[in-house]
Structure 1
Amino acid sequence: MRDVMTYAGHMRAILVLGLPLIGGHLAQFAIGLTDTVMLGWYGVAELAAVTLASSYFFVLFILGAGFALAVMPMVAAAHASGDSTSVRRITRMGLWLSLVYGVLAMPFMIWAGQILQVLGQSEEVSVLAASYLRLAGWGVFPALLVMVLKSYLAALERTQVVLWITLLAALTNGLMNYALIFGNWGAPELGIVGAAIASVMTQLVSLVAVVAYAVTALPEHRMFQRFWRPDWEMLGRVFRLGFPIGLTTVSEVSLFSASALMMGWLGTIPLAAHGIVVAVASATFMVHLGLSNVATIRAGNAYGLQDRTHMARGAVVVTALSLGFAAVTVAGFLLFPEPVLALFLEADNPHRAEILTIGVGLLATAALFQLVDGAQAIALGMLRGVQDTQVPMLMAALSYWVVGIPTSYLLGFTLGLGGVGVWLGLVVGLACAAVFLMARFWGQAIGRIGQLV
């Protein structure tokens, strides 16, 4: 990595590493998008329910995914310093922690219906969401294991295989959804339950594929040999880095999940419109997320080599790429809102006009947070690369829970701005996080590699 020191060199390296990761994130996103689109065709109540259920599942999933996200910078640093033994130890204990977390998360999946009603959701939507989560919830086990192994492969810069495995999963999910939701090809018509079954089967296919690749392509790591043997010292290291990452990520996700709950208070139609706009905004965020992963890997390599110049130049380039893409998406959201939203609704949907009207306002608001959402994601990626997670966790919690969520409620309900007010609260929370986290990286990490407080 030391020979890639110019800005042009960093640009090439980031794109070579990052484009497959971006493609992989988009393919992963397509799995959830397929559920949203096909259930949108199936019925408005089902669309609202899967919007709520997906947000609920993702909060639980992403907290446990902190251990997988910790694997990426740790493996990148170990790989850069030539320590293959630590590569194996880190990844194994990431898998261990993910399995333990899955066991702890399952009760929340099984009793999701009661929990959602306590949170103020309608009985109809809660029952449908619960029927989805009782089955889809079991997918948390393979999903977390897949994420750990993808982080391991990405940190070794094997991003092409991550893309191909995710594309296989997206294809599997689409075909199974088409069969099981609508009852095509001789399958039973199961509606939202069919989408849940398809999601679990898709995660299992992904797990089989990624394990097969890890075993055959990287036999030197002996990843699953004597897998049952504990490594308490490394487990503690992965936990200490990963748990704050999980809390940081869930604090951001909970901002969006809280907004879904608030939109549910406004009614089924606003919640359905919210689900569509979240899907659109999430698609563009996959680019920033891929660049954030690249930032983690490249900063992790620089951290392992203690190469300050390499880290600073890479940070400038990856941030510029994120900002440039954000500018393009802002233009798209403002200029072409209705054609984008119409992709999610059938022409004869009786609620189409109402959903489009609400959705256009929400999409215009979503355009406001494109720049800051990308900036906070890149900053978090760089900070994880230098294994700085505890202070960013506190910054994220402050930004999203203390600033963002109360602002959404204040604007949406107290001041009566409705859905647009809820989304403006998202903008405020994300902007706050972007400022704090960028200041943390440029003020601390660059000048004090290996000595972060």
Structure 2
Amino acid sequence: MPALDLAASPARDRAPFRRPWLVELRATLALSGPLVLINLAQHGLIMADVVMLGRLGAEPLAAATLAHGLYFILFIGGIGLTSAVAPLIAEALGRDPGDRDAARRTLRAGLWAATLVCAPVMLLLWFTGPLLAALGEPPALAEAAGRYMRVLQWAMWPALLFMALRGTLAALERPAWALAASLAALPLNVALGLWLAFEAGLGMVGIGCATLASSLFSLVLLGLVVLRDPGLRRHRLFHGLWRFDPARLGRVVRLGLPMVATGLAEAGLFEAAALAMGLFGASQLAAHAVAIQIAAFCFMVPNGVAQAATVRVGLAFGRRDAAAVRRAGAVALGLALGFMSLCALTQLSVPEPLIGLFLDARDPANAGVLPVAVAFIGFAALFAVADGIQSVTLGMLRGLQDTKVPMLIAVGGYWGLGVPVGAGLAWGLGFEGAGIWAGFCAGLFVVAALLVARWRRLVAGPPARRPERPTVSISTP
């Protein structure tokens, strides 16, 4: 990576203080708003599945949680590659707003990367049942999770292609169509899932079929929009789609692989927790599923802000505008901090109504789950703020195309600290699931603090006495 020297600011940054900050706030809100809603709509698909699975009973919910955990840890790895599309396009457009080839070639490379990664991943997912059984999960849960996965896994390829398209539209600052496709897929998923699971009697498998259908639907709909919308047609995004471009694919892979490792480090932490919860019994695993869904739903907002921050920082980085880089990061970080603080207060104040969205409190079978879920939500509230900060700071750093050091921070924080702390508390001190959640908190707080320090180090100015620090030269026009 070239050096990041953000000391020099363009002359236009001597404008009155308020206007640039208000302009940046409006631009970030305008871009992050649709991206947040897209994340909420897509997570709404997951939450709808969890609600329907919860109505099938605690054991189907527990089995599906195991399957979802394995699916999403690999899916997030694929997202890491497709996430390289947005910062590369944003940087190119910041450097030359008239460059139409950058979006087309980078999207094409992202689609190729998503396709190439899906084949081995889906082969692995086919053996989910035997894999979970080998890891010590109860045989009945492992068998049910494997049966569910053999339908769910086919949704991965269209979902990753959709993510590449969504990143492209975000970099072009046209995210509304991706939002429309996501919103249209949500009622389809719910209606089809209810009919297949309960009316047709397919149970878990029916819910998996609905997820697959909604993923295909949203991809096809967004593809049609790209072909028909006049503002997008001029970019010829699908022109030469099957042409193999090793140079551009190499750029996507080089930037994306550290993102893959970062995503896998975090997702792996949560998947390890789900596997550990299964060893403590179905009640703790079901409670964990509820708490993690509530936490993940809140996380969709800073995740959308992070995606907007990648684009806003990337555009400023392409212009070599140091002050705009700093403003974009500060605005995004402030939005995430405020929202996640509100989420934490809500989770601490009204945990029971939140749990009631997923589990029937009147059902005697859930009596052992409810108090455990309340305790887990308390821990989720503690790390909510740190989770938002680390997500947005990662997005800011990706806008600078800085992904390798953040990867090392994430791996070290989650697995070097979070996992040992969680395991020690869960088994060594007998706190079981609560100890696992305490490990989450420890890892997230450390990662968030180190990522913020990394950002400040890169944008603070020239490294007069630290030549080893990576820098990106931004000169005055």
Q: Give the TM-score category using the shorter length.
A: over 0.9
1:50 aligns with 2:72: no
Letter in 1 for 2:219: L
1:190 aligns with 2:202: yes
Letter in 2 for 1:281: A
Query: Normalising to structure 2: TM-score of the pair?
Result: 0.91
Q: How far apart, CA to CA, are the structure 2 residues paired with 1:347 and 1:266?
A: 21
Stretch deviating more after TM superposition (374-383 or 74-83)? 74-83
Shift of 1:451: 5.2
1:164 to 180, 198, 213: 180
CA contact (8 A) 1:177 1:198 kept: yes
1:361 aligns with 2:383: no
Shift of 1:347: 4.3
Q: Deviations over 1:266-294 (max 9, x none)?
A: 00110000000000000100011011111
1:212 aligns with 2:224: yes
Shift of 1:391: 1.1
Letter in 1 for 2:267: V
1:141 to 147, 157, 160: 157
SS in 2 for 1:229: coil
Structure 2 equivalent of residue 294 of structure 1: 308
SS in 1 for 2:84: helix
Q: How far apart, CA to CA, are the structure 2 residues paired with 1:353 and 1:444?
A: 51
Q: How far apart, CA to CA, are the structure 2 residues paired with 1:355 and 1:115?
A: 26
Q: How far apart, CA to CA, are the structure 2 residues paired with 1:111 and 1:264?
A: 19
2:472 to 445, 450, 453: 450
- Judging changes above 3 Å, is the alpha-carbon distance between structure 1 residues 361 and 333 closer, same or farther for their aligned structure 2 residues? same
CA contact (8 A) 1:269 1:351 kept: no
Shift of 1:351: 2.5
CA contact (8 A) 2:32 2:304 kept: yes
Would you identify which runs of 4 or more consecutive aligned residues in structure 1 move more than 3 Å?
1-5, 445-449
1:129 aligns with 2:145: yes
CA contact (8 A) 2:197 2:203 kept: yes
Shift of 1:177: 0.9
Any gaps of 5 or more consecutive residues in structure 1? none
Q: How far apart, CA to CA, are the structure 2 residues paired with 1:256 and 1:287?
A: 19
Q: How far apart, CA to CA, are the structure 2 residues paired with 1:11 and 1:221?
A: 27
CA contact (8 A) 1:399 1:433 kept: yes
Q: Which has the higher contact order (CA 8 A, sep 6+)?
A: 2
Larger radius of gyration: 2
Stretch deviating more after TM superposition (82-91 or 280-289)? 82-91
1:225 to 225, 231, 239: 239
Letter in 2 for 1:396: A
Q: How far apart, CA to CA, are the structure 2 residues paired with 1:315 and 1:446?
A: 12
Shift of 1:221: 2.3
Q: How far apart, CA to CA, are the structure 2 residues paired with 1:57 and 1:423?
A: 21
Q: How far apart, CA to CA, are the structure 2 residues paired with 1:95 and 1:447?
A: 37
CA contact (8 A) 1:251 1:397 kept: yes
Any gaps of 5 or more consecutive residues in structure 2? 1-11, 463-470
Q: Deviations over 1:165-191 (max 9, x none)?
A: 1111112111111111111xxxx2111
Q: Deviations over 1:223-247 (max 9, x none)?
A: 2233221111111001000111111
Letter in 1 for 2:210: A
Q: How far apart, CA to CA, are the structure 2 residues paired with 1:87 and 1:326?
A: 33
Q: How far apart, CA to CA, are the structure 1 residues paired with 2:459 and 2:365?
A: 51
Letter in 1 for 2:133: Q
Structure 2 equivalent of residue 96 of structure 1: 112
SS in 1 for 2:347: helix
Aligned residues: 448
1:432 to 428, 436, 446: 446
CA contact (8 A) 2:361 2:367 kept: no
SS in 2 for 1:228: coil
Q: How far apart, CA to CA, are the structure 2 residues paired with 1:23 and 1:173?
A: 17
SS in 2 for 1:346: coil
Q: How far apart, CA to CA, are the structure 1 residues paired with 2:304 and 2:460?
A: 22
Q: How far apart, CA to CA, are the structure 2 residues paired with 1:313 and 1:275?
A: 37
Within a 5 Å distance, the mapping from 1:25-44 to structure 2 comes to 25-44=39-58
Identity fraction in percent = 39
Q: How far apart, CA to CA, are the structure 1 residues paired with 2:342 and 2:365?
A: 30
1:315 to 317, 329, 338: 329
1:71 aligns with 2:85: yes
CA contact (8 A) 2:125 2:150 kept: yes
Shift of 1:331: 1.0
Letter in 2 for 1:205: F
Structure 1 equivalent of residue 341 of structure 2: 327
Q: How far apart, CA to CA, are the structure 1 residues paired with 2:339 and 2:116?
A: 38
Q: Deviations over 1:357-412 (max 9, x none)?
A: 00010001111101110110011000100101111111111011111112111111
